[in-house]
Amino acid sequence: MTTLTKQTLSHLDWLEAEAIHIMREVAGQCANPVLLFSGGKDSICMLRIAEKAFRPGRFPFPLMHIDTGHNYQEVVEFRDKRAAELGERLIVRSVEDSMKRGTVVLKHEGESRNKHQSVTLLEAIEEFGFDCCIGGARRDEEKARAKERIMSFRDEFGQWDPKNQRPELWNLYNARAHKGENIRAFPISNWTEMDVWQYIEREGLELPSIYFAHTRPVVMRQGAIVPVNVPLVSGELTNLPKAGEEIIDLQVRFRTVGDISCTAPVESDADTVEKIVLETATTTITERGATRLDDQTSEASMEQRKKEGYF
Protein backbone atom coordinates (compact mmCIF):
# COMPACT_ATOMS: atom_id res chain seq x y z
CA MET A 1 0.00 0.00 0.00
CA THR A 2 1.42 3.35 -1.02
CA THR A 3 1.27 6.40 1.16
CA LEU A 4 -0.13 9.83 0.44
CA THR A 5 1.34 11.21 -2.74
CA LYS A 6 -1.33 12.56 -5.07
CA GLN A 7 -2.66 15.99 -4.26
CA THR A 8 -6.13 15.60 -2.81
CA LEU A 9 -8.72 18.14 -1.72
CA SER A 10 -8.82 19.11 1.94
CA HIS A 11 -11.74 17.52 3.77
CA LEU A 12 -13.77 20.74 3.69
CA ASP A 13 -13.09 21.27 -0.02
CA TRP A 14 -14.17 17.69 -0.69
CA LEU A 15 -17.37 18.04 1.33
CA GLU A 16 -18.15 21.33 -0.37
CA ALA A 17 -17.55 19.86 -3.84
CA GLU A 18 -19.82 16.93 -3.04
CA ALA A 19 -22.57 19.22 -1.77
CA ILE A 20 -22.34 21.43 -4.88
CA HIS A 21 -22.55 18.33 -7.05
CA ILE A 22 -25.70 17.15 -5.24
CA MET A 23 -27.41 20.55 -5.53
CA ARG A 24 -26.64 20.67 -9.24
CA GLU A 25 -28.05 17.16 -9.65
CA VAL A 26 -31.28 18.37 -8.08
CA ALA A 27 -31.31 21.37 -10.42
CA GLY A 28 -30.58 19.14 -13.40
CA GLN A 29 -33.04 16.35 -12.59
CA CYS A 30 -35.98 18.04 -10.87
CA ALA A 31 -38.49 20.37 -12.46
CA ASN A 32 -39.57 22.35 -9.42
CA PRO A 33 -37.27 22.04 -6.39
CA VAL A 34 -37.16 24.21 -3.27
CA LEU A 35 -34.44 24.78 -0.69
CA LEU A 36 -35.52 24.72 2.93
CA PHE A 37 -33.95 27.62 4.79
CA SER A 38 -34.62 28.14 8.47
CA GLY A 39 -31.92 30.64 9.39
CA GLY A 40 -30.10 27.87 11.28
CA LYS A 41 -26.41 27.14 10.87
CA ASP A 42 -26.79 24.12 8.59
CA SER A 43 -29.07 25.93 6.19
CA ILE A 44 -26.75 28.94 6.25
CA CYS A 45 -23.99 26.64 4.99
CA MET A 46 -26.44 25.39 2.35
CA LEU A 47 -26.91 28.92 1.03
CA ARG A 48 -23.16 29.39 0.69
CA ILE A 49 -22.97 26.09 -1.19
CA ALA A 50 -25.81 27.23 -3.46
CA GLU A 51 -23.90 30.44 -4.19
CA LYS A 52 -20.80 28.43 -5.11
CA ALA A 53 -22.92 26.07 -7.21
CA PHE A 54 -24.96 28.59 -9.21
CA ARG A 55 -23.46 32.09 -9.17
CA PRO A 56 -23.32 34.30 -11.17
CA GLY A 57 -26.75 32.88 -12.03
CA ARG A 58 -29.75 32.96 -9.73
CA PHE A 59 -30.56 29.92 -7.65
CA PRO A 60 -32.68 27.53 -9.72
CA PHE A 61 -35.05 27.21 -6.74
CA PRO A 62 -36.78 29.46 -4.21
CA LEU A 63 -36.08 29.28 -0.47
CA MET A 64 -38.78 28.17 1.93
CA HIS A 65 -39.17 28.22 5.68
CA ILE A 66 -41.80 26.31 7.63
CA ASP A 67 -42.32 28.67 10.54
CA THR A 68 -43.77 27.22 13.72
CA GLY A 69 -44.54 30.72 14.99
CA HIS A 70 -42.34 29.81 17.94
CA ASN A 71 -39.02 30.68 16.40
CA TYR A 72 -36.41 32.88 17.98
CA GLN A 73 -36.83 36.44 16.83
CA GLU A 74 -33.12 36.76 16.07
CA VAL A 75 -33.30 33.77 13.75
CA VAL A 76 -36.40 34.97 11.90
CA GLU A 77 -34.85 38.40 11.36
CA PHE A 78 -31.65 36.81 10.17
CA ARG A 79 -33.61 34.57 7.78
CA ASP A 80 -35.29 37.56 6.12
CA LYS A 81 -32.10 39.61 5.97
CA ARG A 82 -30.08 36.82 4.39
CA ALA A 83 -32.69 36.05 1.73
CA ALA A 84 -32.86 39.76 0.85
CA GLU A 85 -29.06 40.07 0.61
CA LEU A 86 -28.95 37.16 -1.78
CA GLY A 87 -31.83 38.57 -3.83
CA GLU A 88 -33.56 35.19 -3.78
CA ARG A 89 -37.26 34.50 -3.28
CA LEU A 90 -38.26 33.39 0.22
CA ILE A 91 -41.53 31.56 0.83
CA VAL A 92 -42.74 31.33 4.42
CA ARG A 93 -45.51 28.94 5.38
CA SER A 94 -46.68 28.83 8.93
CA VAL A 95 -47.80 26.06 11.27
CA GLU A 96 -50.21 28.58 12.77
CA ASP A 97 -52.02 28.80 9.42
CA SER A 98 -52.34 25.01 9.44
CA MET A 99 -53.76 25.29 12.95
CA LYS A 100 -56.31 27.83 11.71
CA ARG A 101 -57.24 25.48 8.86
CA GLY A 102 -57.63 22.72 11.41
CA THR A 103 -55.03 20.47 9.78
CA VAL A 104 -52.77 20.82 12.82
CA VAL A 105 -54.36 20.22 16.20
CA LEU A 106 -52.17 20.62 19.28
CA LYS A 107 -52.73 18.19 22.15
CA HIS A 108 -52.39 21.13 24.51
CA GLU A 109 -51.39 24.73 24.04
CA GLY A 110 -47.84 24.22 25.17
CA GLU A 111 -47.14 21.21 22.97
CA SER A 112 -44.04 21.54 20.81
CA ARG A 113 -44.96 22.50 17.29
CA ASN A 114 -41.78 21.01 15.87
CA LYS A 115 -43.28 17.74 14.69
CA HIS A 116 -46.30 19.53 13.27
CA GLN A 117 -44.02 21.20 10.73
CA SER A 118 -44.45 18.01 8.69
CA VAL A 119 -48.12 18.83 8.03
CA THR A 120 -47.39 22.39 6.95
CA LEU A 121 -44.47 21.22 4.82
CA LEU A 122 -46.64 18.69 3.00
CA GLU A 123 -49.32 21.34 2.47
CA ALA A 124 -46.73 23.71 1.01
CA ILE A 125 -45.34 20.98 -1.25
CA GLU A 126 -48.83 20.46 -2.61
CA GLU A 127 -49.57 24.17 -2.93
CA PHE A 128 -46.47 24.87 -5.02
CA GLY A 129 -46.12 21.46 -6.67
CA PHE A 130 -42.54 21.02 -5.46
CA ASP A 131 -40.98 17.75 -6.61
CA CYS A 132 -37.90 18.03 -4.43
CA CYS A 133 -37.07 19.67 -1.11
CA ILE A 134 -33.39 20.30 -0.44
CA GLY A 135 -32.63 20.13 3.26
CA GLY A 136 -29.64 20.52 5.54
CA ALA A 137 -30.03 17.30 7.53
CA ARG A 138 -26.84 15.40 8.39
CA ARG A 139 -26.32 11.70 8.96
CA ASP A 140 -24.32 12.26 12.13
CA GLU A 141 -27.22 14.05 13.85
CA GLU A 142 -29.23 11.05 14.84
CA LYS A 143 -29.21 7.31 14.28
CA ALA A 144 -32.33 7.26 12.12
CA ARG A 145 -30.44 9.56 9.79
CA ALA A 146 -27.33 7.35 9.59
CA LYS A 147 -29.02 5.21 6.96
CA GLU A 148 -30.72 8.04 5.13
CA ARG A 149 -30.05 8.40 1.42
CA ILE A 150 -28.71 11.58 -0.16
CA MET A 151 -31.82 11.51 -2.33
CA SER A 152 -34.56 10.21 -0.08
CA PHE A 153 -37.80 9.06 -1.64
CA ARG A 154 -41.17 10.02 -0.11
CA ASP A 155 -44.51 8.69 -1.27
CA GLU A 156 -47.67 10.70 -1.96
CA PHE A 157 -48.26 11.06 1.77
CA GLY A 158 -44.76 12.32 2.38
CA GLN A 159 -43.87 9.11 4.16
CA TRP A 160 -40.35 7.79 4.49
CA ASP A 161 -40.19 4.02 4.33
CA PRO A 162 -36.73 2.96 5.50
CA LYS A 163 -37.21 -0.44 3.88
CA ASN A 164 -38.12 0.99 0.52
CA GLN A 165 -35.30 3.36 -0.33
CA ARG A 166 -33.36 3.39 -3.58
CA PRO A 167 -29.83 2.03 -3.44
CA GLU A 168 -27.31 4.82 -4.01
CA LEU A 169 -24.11 3.85 -5.79
CA TRP A 170 -21.10 5.92 -6.74
CA ASN A 171 -22.33 9.47 -7.22
CA LEU A 172 -25.19 8.47 -9.47
CA TYR A 173 -28.24 9.94 -7.74
CA ASN A 174 -31.72 8.99 -8.85
CA ALA A 175 -34.09 11.89 -8.14
CA ARG A 176 -36.88 10.70 -10.41
CA ALA A 177 -40.37 10.88 -8.97
CA HIS A 178 -43.90 10.55 -10.29
CA LYS A 179 -46.36 13.37 -9.87
CA GLY A 180 -47.33 13.77 -6.23
CA GLU A 181 -44.26 11.92 -4.99
CA ASN A 182 -41.37 13.80 -3.56
CA ILE A 183 -37.61 13.65 -3.17
CA ARG A 184 -35.81 15.04 -0.14
CA ALA A 185 -32.23 15.85 -1.06
CA PHE A 186 -29.54 16.23 1.60
CA PRO A 187 -26.36 17.78 0.18
CA ILE A 188 -24.54 17.93 3.54
CA SER A 189 -25.40 14.36 4.59
CA ASN A 190 -21.73 13.56 5.10
CA TRP A 191 -20.94 16.60 7.25
CA THR A 192 -20.57 16.48 11.01
CA GLU A 193 -21.27 19.30 13.46
CA MET A 194 -17.52 19.98 13.49
CA ASP A 195 -17.38 20.22 9.69
CA VAL A 196 -20.24 22.73 9.76
CA TRP A 197 -18.45 24.94 12.27
CA GLN A 198 -15.12 24.67 10.45
CA TYR A 199 -16.88 25.63 7.21
CA ILE A 200 -18.57 28.61 8.85
CA GLU A 201 -15.16 29.69 10.14
CA ARG A 202 -13.39 29.23 6.82
CA GLU A 203 -16.07 30.99 4.78
CA GLY A 204 -16.57 33.73 7.35
CA LEU A 205 -20.34 33.13 7.38
CA GLU A 206 -22.57 35.35 9.45
CA LEU A 207 -24.89 33.67 11.97
CA PRO A 208 -27.87 34.67 14.13
CA SER A 209 -26.59 36.06 17.42
CA ILE A 210 -28.07 33.31 19.60
CA TYR A 211 -25.41 30.87 18.35
CA PHE A 212 -22.87 32.88 20.36
CA ALA A 213 -22.52 33.07 24.12
CA HIS A 214 -25.00 35.52 25.64
CA THR A 215 -26.77 35.91 28.95
CA ARG A 216 -30.46 35.02 29.17
CA PRO A 217 -32.98 33.96 31.82
CA VAL A 218 -33.32 30.19 32.12
CA VAL A 219 -34.60 27.53 34.48
CA MET A 220 -33.24 24.06 35.07
CA ARG A 221 -35.86 21.48 34.10
CA GLN A 222 -35.13 17.72 34.21
CA GLY A 223 -31.42 18.33 33.77
CA ALA A 224 -31.82 20.59 30.75
CA ILE A 225 -31.32 24.33 30.53
CA VAL A 226 -34.67 25.75 29.46
CA PRO A 227 -34.84 29.37 28.27
CA VAL A 228 -37.79 31.24 29.72
CA ASN A 229 -39.69 34.44 28.97
CA VAL A 230 -38.55 34.35 25.36
CA PRO A 231 -40.01 37.15 23.23
CA LEU A 232 -41.72 36.04 20.01
CA VAL A 233 -41.67 38.13 16.83
CA SER A 234 -45.06 39.45 17.92
CA GLY A 235 -43.50 40.71 21.17
CA GLU A 236 -45.48 38.21 23.22
CA LEU A 237 -43.46 36.22 25.76
CA THR A 238 -43.35 32.45 25.49
CA ASN A 239 -41.84 29.59 27.55
CA LEU A 240 -43.08 31.06 30.80
CA PRO A 241 -41.55 29.47 33.90
CA LYS A 242 -43.64 26.97 35.83
CA ALA A 243 -44.68 27.74 39.41
CA GLY A 244 -41.80 27.27 41.83
CA GLU A 245 -39.06 27.30 39.21
CA GLU A 246 -36.13 29.53 39.97
CA ILE A 247 -35.07 31.83 37.15
CA ILE A 248 -31.35 32.35 36.78
CA ASP A 249 -29.32 34.43 34.35
CA LEU A 250 -26.91 32.13 32.61
CA GLN A 251 -24.31 32.57 29.90
CA VAL A 252 -25.39 30.19 27.15
CA ARG A 253 -25.30 29.56 23.42
CA PHE A 254 -27.43 27.44 21.14
CA ARG A 255 -25.93 24.51 19.25
CA THR A 256 -29.08 24.01 17.23
CA VAL A 257 -31.96 26.41 16.76
CA GLY A 258 -35.52 25.35 16.15
CA ASP A 259 -38.88 25.70 17.77
CA ILE A 260 -38.39 27.57 21.07
CA SER A 261 -40.32 24.96 23.03
CA CYS A 262 -37.91 22.15 22.16
CA THR A 263 -34.49 23.74 21.72
CA ALA A 264 -32.29 24.12 24.76
CA PRO A 265 -28.99 26.01 24.93
CA VAL A 266 -25.72 24.89 26.51
CA GLU A 267 -23.69 26.77 29.04
CA SER A 268 -20.80 28.39 27.20
CA ASP A 269 -18.55 31.40 27.02
CA ALA A 270 -17.74 30.87 23.34
CA ASP A 271 -18.58 34.20 21.75
CA THR A 272 -16.70 33.75 18.46
CA VAL A 273 -16.78 31.08 15.75
CA GLU A 274 -13.18 30.23 16.56
CA LYS A 275 -14.04 29.56 20.19
CA ILE A 276 -17.05 27.47 19.16
CA VAL A 277 -14.83 25.33 16.92
CA LEU A 278 -12.57 24.73 19.90
CA GLU A 279 -15.49 23.96 22.17
CA THR A 280 -16.98 21.56 19.60
CA ALA A 281 -13.65 19.73 19.45
CA THR A 282 -13.67 19.12 23.17
CA THR A 283 -17.36 18.74 23.98
CA THR A 284 -18.58 15.56 25.63
CA ILE A 285 -22.25 15.72 24.69
CA THR A 286 -23.83 15.18 21.28
CA GLU A 287 -25.56 18.03 19.53
CA ARG A 288 -29.07 16.66 19.83
CA GLY A 289 -28.49 14.92 23.14
CA ALA A 290 -27.68 18.23 24.74
CA THR A 291 -30.20 20.40 23.17
CA ARG A 292 -33.10 18.74 21.46
CA LEU A 293 -35.79 17.94 23.95
CA ASP A 294 -37.95 16.36 21.24
CA ASP A 295 -35.48 13.59 20.37
CA GLN A 296 -35.37 12.23 23.87
CA THR A 297 -39.04 11.32 23.99
CA SER A 298 -38.37 7.81 22.72
CA GLU A 299 -35.36 6.01 21.39
CA ALA A 300 -36.92 5.94 17.94
CA SER A 301 -38.69 9.28 17.86
CA MET A 302 -36.76 10.72 14.90
CA GLU A 303 -37.41 7.56 12.89
CA GLN A 304 -41.10 7.84 13.73
CA ARG A 305 -41.31 11.50 12.75
CA LYS A 306 -39.50 10.86 9.47
CA LYS A 307 -42.01 8.16 8.60
CA GLU A 308 -44.71 10.78 9.05
CA GLY A 309 -43.14 13.17 6.59
CA TYR A 310 -40.65 15.03 8.75
CA PHE A 311 -37.25 15.90 7.46
Those residues whose C-beta lies under 8 Å from the C-beta of residue 287, and which sit 6 or more positions away, are: 141, 193, 255, 256
Nearer to other proteins, 54 or 99 (CB): 54
56 cis-preceded (ω within 30 degrees of 0): yes
Gap between the Cα atoms of 186 and 213, Å rounded: 29
Q: In terms of CB distance, is 56 or 102 closer to other proteins?
A: 56
**Rule CB under 8 A: which of 115-144 touch other proteins?**
139-140, 143-144
Minimum distance of other proteins from residue 58's CB (angstroms): 7
Beta carbons of 66 and 36 less than 8 angstroms apart? yes
**Number of chain residues interacting with other proteins (CB under 8 A):** 72
Residues between 43 and 62 with contacts to other proteins, criterion CB under 8 A: 51-58, 60
Q: Binding to other proteins by residue 32, rule CB under 8 A? A: no
Angle at 226 between CA 220 and CA 231, to 5 degrees: 135
Pick the closer one to other proteins by CB: 32 or 171.
Answer: 171
Alpha carbon distance 152, 131 (integer Å): 12
> Is 282 a residue that touches other proteins (CB under 8 A)?
yes
- DSSP helix/strand/coil, 149: coil
CB of 283 to other proteins, least distance (A): 7
Residue number, 35 or 230, with CB nearest to other proteins:
35
Q: In the bound complex, what is the minimum distance in angstroms from residue 274's beta carbon to other proteins?
A: 10
Q: Specify the pairing of strand 90-94 against strand 63-67.
A: parallel
CB of 225 to other proteins, least distance (A): 14
User: What CA–CA distance (Å, rounded) separates 91 from 115?
Assistant: 20
- Residues numbered 138 to 197 that lie near other proteins (CB under 8 A) are 139-140, 143-144, 146-147, 162-163, 165-172, 174, 176-178, 189-190, 192, 194-195
**243 makes contact with other proteins (CB under 8 A):** no
Strand-strand pairing, 214-221 and 230-231: unpaired
Among 84, 105, 248, 281, binds other proteins (CB under 8 A): 281
**Is 193:47 a contact under the CB 8 Å cutoff?**
no
